[in-house]
């Protein structure tokens, strides 16, 4: 009897399941298909959509969870071999899927110096950093790409202990750090770790007025450091980063902010190593290089034969007298065949920008740009010859960057990776 | 005596009018810094600061660079803080400029533009924010 009842119950259950099964699959299938279609769409938009849409689409992809993860893994190719083809926005969000394999591929890409989206990989890993990776982030402080170093500092904020030894190690690094964004991130981390005195380095930024030709790096630094300081200190005593720091009200506000930092630091402040830079007078030639793989260079030659390089032109090199006077007509002769042509290539993460300022102060620009893939003979011959003349004037024995390379070699490598070989 | 009493209030009213006029010079051209616009901490859905929203509907002058890779012959382009336009995935990092009586031709030099300014989230058909700052100008400077 008991067996018969069990059989009856079993058959009822099977019948119910049998009836229910098509209903469940009918309900589940459209949902899955909808999610899959969304994943497909966001994947495409994150790679080829309009530029402002790409990061938003990448973020939406994460929100889709598991179905998107499978599709993204597929897009990464076998063993993540196609990661570079995904583009910077997707590479940046990969670690946020929380998948061990994607994380391992992100680390492998970050360690591959030829991978074009290393800063994005570093940022993605940094926001999801885990303690076991702490040693790797410390090592990345020596990376030749500033955005990678900045991301490593952000990661250390998540996984570092901030003990005395680590604080000393970070201070030691920041004393050599030539990049504004990485240095600012480090100062804020030191504040988090109980060393507020280094905020005085950000106060110094509030006095900056430097510019690289028309790019107002000083003003940019004022805005960014003011925003960071406001979050830490609250009141900025009426300081307005849009107003010249030379104006009396600005100068007074900066003094008041410095006093607040001094008080917060218990009356003792570290030495300010990076003094506020001013505009460089008489710059007549500029060569700006931004390479996805080799980093960023801002070089300028002034009429009084000084070569400036590094952010805010902090490093300078005295050239042989008459160098720039000889360069100007030579460059003009090289560039004459280009007539009104000013741009070669397509938008991308690699860019060369040559600027020439004439006697009336007008700037003429020549731009070469491309994505991460090599483009043969991108830089026209006339521009090749002009850039080669500039490279010849660079000192061979100076090492301004975090890497062990020398300025001339570093610049040559960057030029090679952007516009190709010179001549 | 009544007139004398009225004098201070009239002066006060006049002063107020002047003050309001200075705060919102609808007919004047406001100098707007791209650096200020860029440094707003904002994510889609966030409220924008009042001093940025105050630019909405104003006639402004702003300088910047045409984003590298701008297609020739279009009726719009993005104005960025350098010719590289690097990092302009962030919506607060560019101004979308519409040309009412001209077409784009790529110019890598600095541009100083004057036109009517608009501040608001503009979404596409999928709900992605396409732009935050927009500007209408007649022609590109020669």
pLDDT in tens, A178-194: 899 999 999 999 999 99
Find which of A37, A56, A212, A353 to mutate to test the B interface (most B CBs within 10 Å of its CB): A56
Number of domains comprising chain B? 1
Q: Which residue of A41, A219, A290 is in closest CB contact with B35?
A: A219
A2 Cα to chain B: minimum distance (Å): 60
Length of chain B: 142
The answer to whether residue B41 neighbours chain A at the CB level (below 8 Å) is yes
Nearest residue in chain A measured CA to CA from B94: A52
Which of A89, A290, A343 is facing B84, going by the closest CB pair? A290
pLDDT value of residue B68: 85
- Average pLDDT for A390-397: 89
Instruction: Provide, as residue numbers in chain B, all residues whose Cβ is less than 8 Å from the Cβ of A342.
Output: 106-108
The answer to whether position B10 is within a domain reads no
Residue B67 pLDDT more than 80?
A: yes
Residue B21 located in a structural domain: no
Nearest residue in B to A345, CA atom: B69
- The fraction of chain A above a pLDDT of 90, given in percent, is 79
Q: What is the pLDDT of residues B27-60, one digit of tens each?
A: 589 999 999 999 998 988 899 999 999 999 999 9
Helix (H) or strand (E) holding A159: helix A146-159
Provide the number of CB pairs (under 8 Å) joining chain A to chain B. 90
Chain A hits for B44, Cβ within 8 Å: 56
Residue-wise pLDDT for B14-35, tens only, equals: 444 444 334 444 458 999 999 9
Average pLDDT value over all residues in chain A: 90
Q: Which domain holds residue B45?
A: 26-137
- The pLDDT score that the predictor gives to residue B85 is 64
Mean pLDDT within A261-280 = 89
Judged against a pLDDT cut of 50, whether residue A288 lies above it is answered with yes
B39 vs A215, A223, A343: nearest CB: A223
Among A109-123, A389-403, B127-141, which stretch is predicted with the lowest mean pLDDT? A389-403
More confidently predicted of A257 and B109: A257
A29 pLDDT tier (thresholds 50, 70, 90):
low
Bridge-partner residues for B114, per DSSP? B61
Q: What is the pLDDT, as a whole number, of residue B33?
A: 93
Where residue A29 falls (left for φ over 0; alpha for ψ -120 to 50; beta otherwise) is: alpha
Determine contact, residues A358/A306, Cβ cutoff 8 Å.
no
d(C-alpha A150, C-alpha A141), whole Å = 8
Of A163 and A66, the structure prediction assigns the larger pLDDT to A163
- The CATH number that applies at residue B53 is 2.40.50.870
Neighbours of A408 (CB within 10 A): 16
Q: What is the pLDDT of residues A61-93, one digit of tens each?
A: 999 998 899 999 999 999 999 999 999 999 999
Considering only CB atoms, B83 lies closest to which of A89, A346, A367, namely A367
**What residues in A contact B78, CB-CB < 8 Å?**
51
- H or E stretch including B136? strand B129-137
Residue of B60, B72, B89, B127 to mutate, testing the A interface (most A Cβ within 10 Å of its Cβ): B89
Q: Tell me the chain B residues in contact with residue A349 when contact means C-beta distances shorter than 8 Å.
A: 86
pLDDT bin (cut points 50, 70, 90) of residue A406 is: confident
Residues of B numbered 43-62 whose beta carbons fall under 8 angstroms of chain A's beta carbons: which are they?
44
The yes-or-no verdict on residue A262 having pLDDT over 70 is yes
| Beta-ladder partners of A343 | A367
What does the pLDDT read at residue A326? 97
Task: Say which residues have a Cβ less than 8 Å from residue B98's Cβ, sequence separation at least 6.
Answer: B75, B76, B134, B135, B136, B137
**How close B11 comes to chain A (CA, Å)?**
29
Q: Mind telling me how many Å the CA of A215 is from chain B's nearest CA?
A: 6
CA dihedral A339, A412, B68, A59 (to 10 degrees): 170
CB A383 within 8 A of CB A354: yes
Q: Which of A162, A228, A219 is nearest to A195 (CA)?
A: A162
**The pLDDT of residue A398 is above 80:** no
- Minimal Cβ distance to B41: which of A41, A227, A242: A227
Q: Which residue has the higher pLDDT, A270 or A310?
A: A270
| Tokens read off for A390 | 């500039």
Would you say residue A403 has pLDDT above 90? no
Helices (H), A2-63: 2-48, 53-63
Strand ranges, E, within A243-346: 283-291, 295-302, 306-309, 315-318, 343-345
| Contact call for B88 and A353, based on CB within 8 A | no
The answer to whether residue A16 scores a pLDDT higher than 80 is: no
- What tens digit of pLDDT does each residue of B87-138 get? 557 899 999 999 999 999 888 888 999 999 999 999 999 999 999 999 999 9
Reduced to 3 states, what is the DSSP secondary structure of residue B5? Answer: helix
Q: Is the pLDDT of residue A321 over 90?
A: yes
């Amino acid at each position: 009897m008991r067996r018969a009842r069990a059989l009856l119950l079993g058959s009822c259950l099977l019948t119910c399941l049998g009836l229910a099964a098509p209903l469940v699959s009918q309900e589940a299938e459209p949902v899955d298909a909808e999610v899959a279609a969304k994943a497909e769409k966001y994947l495409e938009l994150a790679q080829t959509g309009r530029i402002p849409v790409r990061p938003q689409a990448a973020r939406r992809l994460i929100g889709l969870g598991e179905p998107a993860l499978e599709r993204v893994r597929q897009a990464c190719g076998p063993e993540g071999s196609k990661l570079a083809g995904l583009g910077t926005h997707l590479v940046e969000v990969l670690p946020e899927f929380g998948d061990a394999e994607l994380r391992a591929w992100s680390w492998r890409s970050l360690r591959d110096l030829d991978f074009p989206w290393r800063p994005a990989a570093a940022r993605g890993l940094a926001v999801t950093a885990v303690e076991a990776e702490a040693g790797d982030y410390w090592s990345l402080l020596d990376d030749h790409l500033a955005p990678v170093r900045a991301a490593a500092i952000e990661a250390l904020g998540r996984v570092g202990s901030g003990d005395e030894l680590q604080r000393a190690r970070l201070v030691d690094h920041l004393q050599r750090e030539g990049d504004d964004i990485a240095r600012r991130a480090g100062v804020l981390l030191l504040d988090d770790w109980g060393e507020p005195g280094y905020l005085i380095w950000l106060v110094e930024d509030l006095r900056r007025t430097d510019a690289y030709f028309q790019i107002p790096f000083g003003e940019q630094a004022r805005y960014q450091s003011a925003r960071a300081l406001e979050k830490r200190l609250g009141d900025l005593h009426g300081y307005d980063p849009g107003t010249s720091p030379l104006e009396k009200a600005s100068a007074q506000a900066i003094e008041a902010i410095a006093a607040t930092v001094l008080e917060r630091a218990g009356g003792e402040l570290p030495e300010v190593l990076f003094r506020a830079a001013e505009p460089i007078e008489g710059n007549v030639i500029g060569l700006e290089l931004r390479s996805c793989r080799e980093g960023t260079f801002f070089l300028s030659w002034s009429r009084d034969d000084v070569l400036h390089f590094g952010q805010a032109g902090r490093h300078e090199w005295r050239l042989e007298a008459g160098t720039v006077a000889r360069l100007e007509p030579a460059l003009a002769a090289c560039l004459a065949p280009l007539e009104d042509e000013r741009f070669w290539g397509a938008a991308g993460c690699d860019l060369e920008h040559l600027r020439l300022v004439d006697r009336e102060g007008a700037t003429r620009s020549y731009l070469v740009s491309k994505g991460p893939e090599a483009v043969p003979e991108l830089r026209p011959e006339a521009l090749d010859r002009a850039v080669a003349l500039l490279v010849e004037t660079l000192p061979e024995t100076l090492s301004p960057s975090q890497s062990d390379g020398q300025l001339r070699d570093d610049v040559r490598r960057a030029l090679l990776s952007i516009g190709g070989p010179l001549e | 005596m009544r007139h004398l009493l009225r004098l201070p209030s009239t002066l006060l009213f006049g002063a107020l009018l002047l003050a309001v006029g200075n705060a919102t010079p609808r007919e004047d051209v406001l100098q707007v810094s791209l650096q200020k616009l860029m440094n707003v901490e904002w994510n889609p859905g966030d409220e924008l600061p009042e001093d940025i929203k105050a630019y909405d509907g104003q006639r402004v002058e702003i300088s910047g660079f045409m984003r590298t890779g701008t297609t020739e012959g279009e009726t719009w382009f993005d104005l960025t803080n350098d010719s590289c336009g690097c990092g302009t995935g962030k919506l607060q990092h560019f101004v979308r400029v519409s040309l009412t009586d001209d077409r784009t031709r790529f110019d890598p030099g600095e541009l100083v533009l004057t036109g009517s300014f608009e501040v608001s989230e503009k979404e596409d058909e999928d709900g992605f924010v396409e732009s935050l700052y927009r500007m209408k100008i007649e022609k590109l400077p020669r």
